[in-house]
Amino acid sequence: MTSRAKILFITIAILFTGTAFKLIQEADERFGKYKYKDFETPKYCGSSCHVQFYQQWDQAMMSKAYTHEWDEIEYFKLAVAHSENDPDMKGVHDGCNGCHTPMAYLTGDVPPPRPEEGSRANESVNCDICHVITGYEGDTPYNFNYTVDPGQTKYSSRIGEKESPNHEIKLSELHSKAEFCGICHNEKSPFDVWVKSTHLEWKKGPYSKEGVQCQDCHMPKAKFKTAEMGATYDNTRLHLFHGAHSPTKIAGVIELRMNPDIQEAVPGEPVVFTLALFNQKTGHKFPTGSVEDRIAWVHVEAEDADGNIYHLKVDEKGFEGEEYTIAGTDTAYEDMAVPLDDPGFKGVRREDVPVGDRIFRMPYFDPQGRMTIMQWNTDSLGTDYRIGPRETKMETYTFNIPYDVSPGKMKVRAVMNYRLLVKPVAVLLNVPEEEYAIHKINETETEIEIFP
Ligand code: HEC
Ligand code: HEC
Ligand code: HEC
Ligand code: HEC
C-alpha cells in the first residue's frame, strides 16, 4: 500500500470502527434497561450473612474497580475527555463501565457521578452482578458480553446443603470456569485489537489443559463457611481475587537463577553471565491484564571485593521490536495530547528504568504508530516479550572485567522489579505514588574469582 492509501485506509477504519462502537452501545438492549434498586448492595449481602466473603471482597480490587484513584484519573482525565475532544472516539467511555461498574452501565448511569459523590456506581464489581450473570453471548467471553437476570435467584456453582433464607440458588457451571472471568478479563479495542487477553492467554497455556481454572488461584478452596448460617465445606471458594495489587501474590512469580561461563577471570577478560527466568506462578502471562501500564524489568550489577559497583547491560538478541524491551531514554504516549487538550504535548519518557535493563512487556500502539497507555486507542500491538505460564526466558550479560577492578570475589546480582504503572505517566497525571512504587519480584546472586 502507498502511504496515501494507507492513511486513507486508516481513516476509513477509524470512522468505521468509531461508528461501529457507537452503534453497539446504542443497540445494546441491556444499556439502561435496569434500575439500581434491581440489585442488592454488597452491605446487604455481607452484613449478617456472607460476612467473611464481604470482608475478603472489600480488600480486593473488585470492590474498587470504579473508585480506585488511578481508575478515576484514567476514566475522567483520559477516556471521558478523549470522547469529548475527538468525534471518532464518541461513546468510547461508556464501555469502561460495563466492566468497572456494571450496574452503572446496566442502569444507563454513564458517565457515573465521581466517586466522591458516593453513588451506587462506587459498588464497582459487586456481589450481585457476578451472581446474576447467567451466561455470555457468542463463543468467546470478552467486552462484558454477559447476560444477566437480576432478582431473587442467585447463580453459583453449587446449590448447597442448606437452603438460603433469603434467595433461590440456581446451578451455574459457568461460575466454576475460566470463561466466567474472561467476560471482563478479555477486552478488544474499537480497532479490533485484543488489549486484554488474560483468559485467552490461559486458554493457550498449560493450565487450561490440566483443568486448572482462574478460580483455583484467585478464589482458592479452603475448609470454610459460605455464610454465617450456611454450611461448611472442604472446598469453599474464598473471595480473595488477589492479583497485581497484592504484594504476596506477585512475590516470587518469576524464579531467577544465574551462572557465569567461567569461574575465574583476569581484568580485561569477557565473562558471560546467563540468567534463566522461570514463570512458576501465573496461569497466564506475566504481566497480564493492564499490559499497557505494567512493566517488569531485570537489573544486574556486579560488586568487586572493595565494594565497587558496575551495571551490566543485557546483551541484545536482535529480534524485531527489541528496542521496546530494553530501557532507554525515548519519549512516548504523545496521544494523550488530545484528552489533555494540550496540542503542544510532546509525550513523556517511555519508562524510568536504568538504561540497558531488559524489560518484560508488550507495547501498545495508537493509529499513528506511537506507544500508548490508552488501551481504547490501540490499533496494533508490538512484540510480546512477557513471560508465559511455565515459560523460561534466557538472557545473557557479557561483562568485560574492568582493568581497575579489585581482585578477589566478585558478586553478581540480578533483581527483577515490577511496576503497576510506568512512572513518567503516573507522575504526569498525579497518580498516587503507591501505583508506581517498585516491587521486588525476586533476586539471585552468583560469584566469580578475579585474579590480579
Ligand atoms: C463484571 C466484570 C468482572 C468479572 C466477571 C470478573 N472480573 Fe476480575 N476484575 C474486574 C475489573 C474491572 C478489575 C479491575 C479492578 C481495577 O480497577 O484495578 C478486576 C480485577 C481483577 C483482579 C486484579 C486484582 C489486582 O490486585 O490487581 C483479579 C485477580 C481478578 N479480577 C480476578 C478475577 C477472576 C478470577 C474472575 C472470575 C472468577 C474475575 N476476576 C471476574 C472485572 C471483573
Ligand atoms: C467477580 C465475580 C464475583 C464477585 C464480585 C463475587 N462473587 Fe461470589 N462467587 C463467584 C464465583 C465465580 C463463585 C464460584 C466459584 C467456583 O465455584 O469456582 C462464587 C461463589 C460464591 C458463593 C458460594 C461459595 C461456595 O463455595 O459454594 C457465595 C456464597 C458467594 N459467592 C457470595 C458472594 C458474596 C456475598 C459476594 C460479595 C461480598 C460475592 N460472592 C462476590 C464470583 C463472584
Ligand atoms: C496457576 C495460578 C493462576 C491461574 C490459573 C490464574 N492466575 Fe491470575 N495471577 C496469578 C498470579 C501468581 C498473579 C500475580 C502476578 C501477576 O500480576 O501476573 C496473577 C495475576 C492476575 C491478575 C493481575 C494482573 C495484572 O498485571 O494486573 C489478573 C487480572 C488475573 N491474574 C486474572 C486471572 C484470570 C482471569 C485467570 C483465568 C483466565 C487467571 N488469572 C488464572 C496466578 C494465576
Ligand atoms: C472488558 C472489560 C473492561 C473494559 C471494557 C475496560 N476495562 Fe479497565 N480493566 C478491566 C480489568 C479486568 C482490569 C484489571 C486488569 C489487571 O488487573 O491487570 C482493568 C484495569 C484497568 C485499569 C488499571 C487499574 C489498576 O489498578 O492498575 C484502568 C486505569 C482501567 N482499567 C481503566 C479503564 C478505562 C478508562 C476503560 C474504558 C476506556 C476500561 N478500563 C475499559 C476490564 C475492563
Give the least confident one: 1-10, 190-199, 294-303, 304-313: 1-10
Question: How do residues 238-257 score in pLDDT, each as one tens digit?
Answer: 999 999 999 999 999 999 99
Kindly tell me if the per-residue pLDDT of 12 is higher than 60.
no
Kindly tell me if the per-residue pLDDT of 13 is higher than 50.
no
Interval 12-38 mean pLDDT: 66
Cα–Cα distance, 389 to 208 (Å, whole number): 11
What pLDDT is recorded for position 161? Answer: 83
119 lines ligand 2 (CB under 6 A): no
- CATH topology (fold) of 247-450: Immunoglobulin-like (2.60.40)
Whether the model clears a pTM of 0.85, i.e. scores above it, the answer is yes
The CATH 2.60.40.3880 portion of the chain extends over: 247-450
Which has the closest alpha carbon to 126: 36, 214, 49?
36
Pocket test for ligand 2, best of 229, 232, 239 (most atoms within 8 A of CB): 239
Q: Which ligand is nearest to the CA of 218?
A: 1
Question: How do residues 255-303 score in pLDDT, each as one tens digit?
Answer: 999 999 999 999 999 999 999 999 999 999 999 999 999 999 999 999 9
218 lines ligand 3 (CB under 6 A): yes
What pLDDT is recorded for position 221? Answer: 98
68 lines ligand 1 (CB under 6 A): yes
Residue type for 373, please? I
C-alpha dihedral sign at 44, 49, 53, 54:
positive
Give the residue carrying C-alpha cell 487477553.
197
Whole-number percent of the chain with pLDDT over 90: 91
359 lines ligand 4 (CB under 6 A): no
Residue 113 backbone phi and psi in degrees, to 5: -60, 155
Task: Give the Å distance between the CA of 241 and the centre of ligand 1.
Answer: 7
What pLDDT is recorded for position 262? Answer: 98
Cα–Cα distance, 69 to 436 (Å, whole number): 13
Interval 306-333 mean pLDDT: 98
What pLDDT is recorded for position 162? Answer: 86
Whole-number percent of the chain with pLDDT over 70: 94
Task: Give the Å distance between the CA of 156 and the centre of ligand 2.
Answer: 7
Q: Which three cell numbers mark 112?
A: 457515573
Cα–Cα distance, 249 to 256 (Å, whole number): 17
Kindly tell me if the per-residue pLDDT of 4 is higher than 70.
no
pLDDT band at residue 26, thresholds of 50, 70 and 90? low
